[in-house]
């Protein structure tokens, strides 16, 4: 019992790991600390840092819901994944054929 009390708490699961889980298990497994949408993440960051948006909170919410913002976020995520796949020495196209196919234009 003493050994168990001294153990550190398990860190939260990574977003990548959680995305691979079924939706129901993601919801029940994480409790209240589940995945955040882009809007929720920005709102939480605004509250945590204490900064005030130039516009109202509703204006910030509206700006985050625009297709331009969502597209820019999506493109940035794709660019980050492409860079990681290109530069990560542990990436094996045999082990991850779908990632290789999705980003094959960068490998030629």
pLDDT for 22-39, tens place per residue?
Answer: 877 766 665 444 446 777
* pLDDT value, residue 30: 52
Q: Using CA of residue 47, residue 50, residue 51, residue 56, what is the dihedral sign?
A: positive
Long-range contacts from 57-66, C-beta under 8 angstroms, 24+ separation: 64/38, 64/39, 65/39
pLDDT in tens, 42-60: 888 888 888 887 878 788 7
pLDDT in tens, 98-108: 887 787 664 44
* pLDDT value, residue 104: 63
* pLDDT value, residue 34: 46
* pLDDT value, residue 29: 60
Exposed (0-12), middle (13-18) or buried (19+): which is 50, by Cβ within 10 Å? Answer: exposed
């Amino acid at each position: 019992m003493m050994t168990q009390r001294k153990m550190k708490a398990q860190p939260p699961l990574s977003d990548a790991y959680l995305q691979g889980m079924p939706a129901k298990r993601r919801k029940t497994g994480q409790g209240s600390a589940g995945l955040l949408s882009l809007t929720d993440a920005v709102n939480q960051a605004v509250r945590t840092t204490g900064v005030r948006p130039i516009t109202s909170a509703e204006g910030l919410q509206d700006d985050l819901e625009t297709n331009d913002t969502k597209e820019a976020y999506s493109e940035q995520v794709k660019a980050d994944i492409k860079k990681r796949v290109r530069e990560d020495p542990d990436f094996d196209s045999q082990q991850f054929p779908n990632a290789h196919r999705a980003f094959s234009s960068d490998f030629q």
